[in-house]
Chain A
Amino acid sequence: MESLTLSDVEQKYYSDLFVYCDTDNTKKVASNGRVLDLFRAAQLPSEVVLQITELCGATRLGHFGRSQFYIALKLIAIAQSGLPLRVESLNSVKDLPLPRFVVGKNEAEARHAALYQDTDSQGLYPAPGAAVIPRPPGRGHQNKKGPPSSTSLPVHEVIQPLAPNIEPQPEPTSPVVSPHQSPPTSPHSWRKHKRQHSGGNADRQPVVAATGAVWTQFREPQTGPVTGDGMWSSHSPPPPGQESWVSFTADTPPSSTLPAMHPSSVQESTTIRTVASAATTNEIQRQSSTYDDPWKITDEQRQYYINQFKTIQPDLTGFIPGSAAKEFFTKSKLPILELSHIWELSDFDKDGALTLDEFCAAFHLVVARKNGYDLPEKLPESLMPKLIDLDDSAEVPEPTADVGYSASPVEVTPNKSPSMPSLNQAWPEMNQSNEQWETFSERSSSSQTLTQFDSNIAPADPDTAIVHPVPIRMTPSKIHMQEMELKRTGSDHNHPTSPLLTKPPELSEEAKLPASMKFVAANTVGDGYSSSDSFTSDQEPITRQRSQSGTSPEALKVVAPPPPPPRPHPSHSRSSSLDMNRTFAATSATGQPQPSTIAYPPAVPPRPLPTQTSVPLTGHRVEAEGVPGGGAVLTTTSPQQIPQQPNFADFSQFQAFAASEQPSSLPEVDKHSEAGQVDKTSEGAGPLRTVKSDGQADERASATVNSTKGSSGPLAPPPKPVRRRLKSEDELRPEDEQHGPQKSNVIAAVLATQPSIPRSVGKDKKAIQASIRRNKETNTVLARLNSELQQQLKDLLEERISLEVQLEQLRPFSHL
């Protein structure tokens, strides 16, 4: 028997196996039965087994001593690795994998494994235990108890595929997991465990050589379930027997046999983890261990998120703008639609930026989604940022703990215990995820140029944007009113639009439209408008009136274009008639102002007297009216009526003029007087004559005329003077004889003339004509007045129409 050099691992392993086989506790000899079973478990052909047995010298000895046993084991390993069985190869073969034993070893091996792996309370002990027949799931109890259970067979078979992949050193590496993982968590873990195994196996294969590497591999699944357990605690244990591995852990008593390995393994695993790109599935599965409370963020996860946050935004209390967040999360290769949904969920305050909490929530959702979990419709409570907001920054563990507590009180206790180890164990995951993200970062994200949404700040509170436009009563200033007036007169559009502007702001306030910023501006502007409009509307009547008043004179002026510009006095007509008189002196002018025209047509040409008399009369009138227009008139006396003075003066002139014509007209007048109508004219002529003859008479006549004019002036001026003249003439005529009581007569005449129209009927033709003239004048005046009123009416109608239009426009707002 040549010396057998075994590696430490092998040494240990073999010794364990020997112990296993040493049913008799001889410490020296392995029972044949056990050995044979073991050999059978090696799944080697029987002849190989025989060969091995022979080679190791057991045949010679008839029993398996320790050395034989060891040799046999080594040979088994060699055989299993496919090498020819040679004694020489015992030592020559380096890096021989540990012999694998499958069948039959279950319980015993499990026990052994338990001894070694018991630190892994979770029984996470995965594939590495393959060499030691990794504990069958759920068989932990049974395993411990020792009695072989055939039920473990399937487990073993299950294990078997894993076993080859797994590096030997089961026991030494097993205890990696911290003992304090509580049993209840184990059931959960193995579910993940299996996945991890499947994932881990694939990864482990490449990392075969180093023990440490193996350990890390072992560690990997172990840590996974560990963390998972840490997170899961509330899970109900998965049905036993479902998967291998895991349930075992529940029963493995925590053993401190290999606690020392723990830190080292941790470190190793950590380093290795960081180096090797472990299966993302593993890590993801581990992270998906949030399945339980799917949305709870563990401390380590949060810490990781925070670190990631710092890479984007060093200030933890600051925001990550939307564009940066988009780039970051696009690296996760999730579809944009899902990222969009995640954003919607996580951007709690809808400001287009992520706070630390929002970022963590988003990150967590991304991770969950990557793990295959569907995104929730609403943000889960545990991801709500409000809890974090309560604390000041740098709160990580506490708030998360709080979150955890709030989420599921059941988890509190178990969380606490595994939290620490899970933290340690999760670090590699985090690092792993680091790698993941790092790989993501390396890959170029979508090169979309994002529109900067930072500036798009949704209105925080639509209600705040509503500003009730308090109607501002602006005291109308004259300037403003004038402006309004100008506006009104300028364009009609102002009116319809202004009430419109008033209305919409009011309505908008009521509706509280969210377009706050601009709308507020619109409101304020609208306020200004509304106020101005209300002002306008308030002032409109006034302005209208004013404008009306303003326009009335204008209207007057406008309306009477043909007549000479504004005739404040009938004297204008007079003046025009004066002109007419002059023209009429030559011929009968009919196109002249009405009174004169009126006056003249009745003036019968064949009757020069009345015409003449009328002419002088009209002349008087005209002159009287014209003079005020002219302004400069010789005014003799009569202070009674200034406007009359010119008349008077004219009259005097006219009297002089008429007087010149008197001689010719007088006889006619006299003739007319016969008719009776002429009497007045003759009377008028009479006084004229007398005036002519007597300056005093003139004065008197003028005085009388003045007086008459004066007295009757305030009343219907246009006809009055004519009447007065007529009367005065009429009266003067008889007064020719009576010079004395002229004034009284005049007064009487005046008094008589005032209601004299009917009286004039019975008087001279001149009187009638004069009255006709008067009437016509009044008619013209009234006509002018009528035209003015018509104009005003038109204006009012226009305004009414505009208001109606506005009403129509506003009707939909009010009715709908």
Chain B
Amino acid sequence: MAVCIAVIAKENYPLYIRSVPTQNELKFHYTVHTSLDVVEEKISAVGKSIGDQRELYLGLLYPTEDYKVYGYVTNSKVKFVIVVDSSNTSLRDNEIRSMFRKLHNSFTDVMCNPFHNPGDSIQSKAFDGIVSGMMVQTG
């Protein structure tokens, strides 16, 4: 039950960002942006190995008092960021991983679409559907 889900391209611009609409979305945008630094740090930190062994799931990037930010990076340096409400303490690591896995799957589906140009923002109803399914159902 994420509060905000974002897909960041390799060049660190957002391909897709969507928040629970009732809240201050700008705040989430900012959070995602700041989390990119942590993602970069994690990527470079593990860069010691060849890179293939690099873990795709980055885990908790950093927690704030309100929410936690999780990161996931693909082998093509596309980053997924999920912001989860801290009050949702029941979320376990495996659940977050499964969310990332679904995101990755639908992202590859979007990429497989020949009408989608990599680098364009993602405008896929299927992808939107998946994201909606993962978002917190507020009101």
A interface residues with partner B (beta carbon < 8 Å): 322-323, 325-326, 329, 336-337, 339-341, 343-344, 347, 350-352, 377, 448, 450-451, 453, 456-459, 462, 497, 501, 504, 507-508, 510-515, 518-519, 521-522, 525-526, 529, 812-813, 816
Complex Cα–Cα for A457 and B112 (A): 7
19 contacts between A and B (CB under 8 A): A325-B114, A326-B115, A329-B115, A336-B115, A343-B115, A352-B113, A377-B125, A501-B49, A504-B53, A508-B55, A511-B93, A513-B97, A514-B108, A515-B104, A525-B52, A812-B60, A813-B93, A816-B59, A816-B93
Whether A513 contacts B101 by the Cβ 8 Å rule is yes
Residues of B within 8 A of A340 (CB): 113, 115-116, 123-124
B55 neighbours in A (Cβ, 8 Å): 504, 507-508, 522
Say yes or no: B113 contacts A343, CB within 8 Å.
yes
Q: Considering the complex of A and B, which 7 residue pairs feature the smallest CB-CB distances, nearest first?
A: A322-B114, A511-B97, A340-B115, A326-B114, A352-B112, A816-B93, A458-B108
What is the bound-complex CA distance between A521 and B97, given in angstroms? 19
Q: Are A816 and B60 CB-contacts (below 8 A) given A323-B114, A522-B54?
A: yes
B residues in contact with A497, CB < 8 Å: 48
Q: In the bound complex, how far is the Cα of B118 from the Cα of A462, in angstroms? A: 23
Contact of B52 among A350, A462, A522 (CB under 8 A): A522
Residues of A within 8 A of B118 (CB): 451
Tell me the complex Cα distance, A458–B113, Å: 11
Contact with A along B85-128 (1 / 0, CB 8 A): 00000001110111011001100110111111110000111100
Report chain B residues within 8 Å CB of A510: 94, 97
8 Å CB contacts to A: which residues of B49-93?
49, 52-57, 59-60, 74-75, 92-93
B75 partner residues in chain A, CB cutoff 8 A: 515, 518
How far is B24's CA from A434's CA once the two chains are assembled, in angstroms? 52
| A343 touching B101, Cβ below 8 Å | no
State which of B94, B101, B112, B124 has its C-beta within 8 Å of the C-beta of A351: B112
Give 8 new A-B contacts, CB below 8 A, not counting A453-B111, A513-B104.
A343-B113, A347-B113, A458-B108, A511-B93, A511-B97, A513-B56, A515-B74, A525-B52
- Shortest C-beta distance, A238 to chain B (Å), equals 33
CA of A166 to CA of B54, assembled, Å: 75
Binding site for A on B (CB under 8 A): 48-49, 52-57, 59-60, 74-75, 92-94, 96-98, 100-101, 104-105, 108-109, 111-118, 123-126
Cα of A337 to Cα of B55 in the assembled complex, Å: 34
Inter-subunit contact A350/B56 (CB<8 Å)? no
- Which chain B residues lie closer than 8 Å to A812 at the CB level? 59-60
> How distant is the Cα of A196 from the Cα of B115 in the complex, in angstroms?
33
CA distance A523 to B118 in the complex (A): 28
Label chain A's interface by main secondary structure: helix
Smallest beta-carbon distance A450→chain B, Å: 6
Q: What does DSSP make chain B's interface, helix, strand, loop or mixed?
A: mixed
- Determine the chain B residues whose CB is within 8 A of the CB of A518 once the complex forms: 52, 75
B53–A501 CB distance below 8 A: yes
In the complex, chain B residues whose CB is within 8 Å of the CB of A504: 53, 55
* Residues of A contacting B111 in the complex (Cβ-Cβ under 8 angstroms): 453, 456
Q: Are B126 and A344 in contact (CB under 8 A)?
A: yes
Is the pair B112, A514 in contact by a Cβ cutoff of 8 Å? no
Are A458 and B109 touching (Cβ within 8 A)? yes
Q: Which of A323, A462, A522, A813 has the most CB of B within 10 A?
A: A522
Q: Smallest CB-CB separation from A510: which chain B residue?
A: B94
Pair A529/B97 contact, Cβ less than 8 Å: no
Known contacts A513-B56, A813-B59, A458 near B112 by CB under 8 Å: yes
Contact among A339, A344, A513, A522 with B125 in the assembled complex (CB-CB below 8 Å) = A344
Closest beta carbon of chain B to A6's beta carbon, Å:
60
A527 CB to nearest chain B CB (Å): 10
Q: Are B101 and A453 in contact (CB under 8 A)?
A: no
The reply to whether A462 and B116 contact each other, CB–CB distance below 8 Å, is: no
Chain A nearest CB, measured from B110 CB (Å): 8
Kindly name the residue among B54, B75, B109, B124 whose own CB sees the greatest number of chain A CB atoms within 10 A. B109
Partner of A515, one of B53, B56, B123, B125: B56
- Bound-state CA distance A323–B100 (Å) is 28
The chain B residue sitting closest to A327, CB to CB, is: B114
**When chains A and B are docked, how far (Å) is the Cα of A448 from the Cα of B117?**
10
Are B57's CB and A513's CB within 8 A?
Answer: yes
By beta carbon, the residue of chain A nearest B124 is: A344
* One of B59, B93, B96, B104 near A514 (C-beta < 8 A): B104
Most buried by A among B54, B55, B97: B55
CA distance A526 to B52 in the complex (A): 10
Is A816 within 8 A of B123, CB to CB? Answer: no
CB contacts (< 8 Å) of A515 on chain B: these are 56, 74-75, 104
Give the distance to chain A from B42, nearest Cβ to Cβ, in Å.
11
**B112→A350 contact, CB < 8 A:** yes
Q: In the complex, what residue of chain A is closest to B126 when comparing beta carbons? A: A344
Closest to A526 in B: B53
A339 touches B115 (CB 8 A): yes
Known: A514-B104, A515-B56. A453 touches B94 (CB 8 A): no
Please indicate the chain A residues that have their CB under 8 angstroms from the CB of B105 in the complex: 458-459, 462, 514
* B124–A350 CB distance below 8 A: no
CA distance A349 to B36 in the complex (A): 33
Find the A residue at minimum CB distance from B97.
A511
B111 — nearest CB in chain A belongs to which residue?
Answer: A456
Residue of B nearest to A519 (CB): B56
Residues of chain A within 8 A (CB-CB) of B59 are 812-813, 816
Q: Determine the chain B residues whose CB is within 8 A of the CB of A462 once the complex forms.
A: 101, 105
Q: How far is the CA of A518 from the CA of B56 in the complex (A)?
A: 10
Complex interface: chain A residues within 8 A of B116 (CB): 340
Per the bound structure, the CA–CA distance linking A813 and B56 in Å amounts to 13
Query: What residues of B have a CB within 8 angstroms of the CB of A525 in the complex?
Result: 52-53
> How many Å lie between the Cα of A340 and that of B123 in the bound state?
8
**Contact status B56-A352, CB under 8 Å:** no
A341 to B118, CA, bound (A): 16
Residue contact B53 to A529, C-beta cutoff 8 Å: yes
Contact B112–A453 (Cβ < 8 Å): yes
Q: Is the CB of B101 within 8 A of A511?
A: yes
Q: Give every chain B residue within 8 A of A448 (Cβ-Cβ).
A: 117
- List chain B residues, Cβ under 8 A from A453: 111-114
CB distance from B129 to the nearest CB of A (A): 8
| B109 and A344 contact, CB distance less than 8 A | yes
- Minimum CB–CB distance from B60 to chain A (whole Å) comes to 6
Is B126 in contact with A511, judged by CB distance below 8 angstroms? no
How distant is the Cα of A497 from the Cα of B47 in the complex, in angstroms?
A: 12
Given A458-B105, A513-B104, decide whether A322 and B112 contact each other with a Cβ distance below 8 A: yes
A residues near B108, Cβ cutoff 8 Å: 456, 458-459, 514
Complex Cα distance, B73 from A515, in Å, reads 10
Contact A451 B97 (CB under 8 A): no
In the complex, which residue of chain B has the Cβ closest to the Cβ of A320?
B114
Contacts of A457 in B (CB 8 A): 112
Nearest residue, chain A, Cβ from B98: A511
Q: What distance in Å separates the Cβ of A37 from its nearest Cβ neighbour in chain B?
A: 61
Residue in chain B with minimal CB distance to A815:
B93
Q: With contacts A341-B124, A341-B125, A456-B108 known, is A511 near B115, CB below 8 A? A: no
CB distance from B20 to the nearest CB of A (A): 22
A514 to B117: give the CA distance in the assembly, Å.
Answer: 22
Q: How far apart are the CA atoms of A458 and B74 in the complex, in Å?
A: 13
Minimum C-beta distance from A438 to chain B (A):
22
Bound-complex Cα distance A350 to B127 (A): 13
Which chain B residues lie closer than 8 Å to A501 at the CB level?
A: 49, 53
| Nearest CB on B from A156, distance (A) | 49
Which chain B residues lie closer than 8 Å to A329 at the CB level? 115
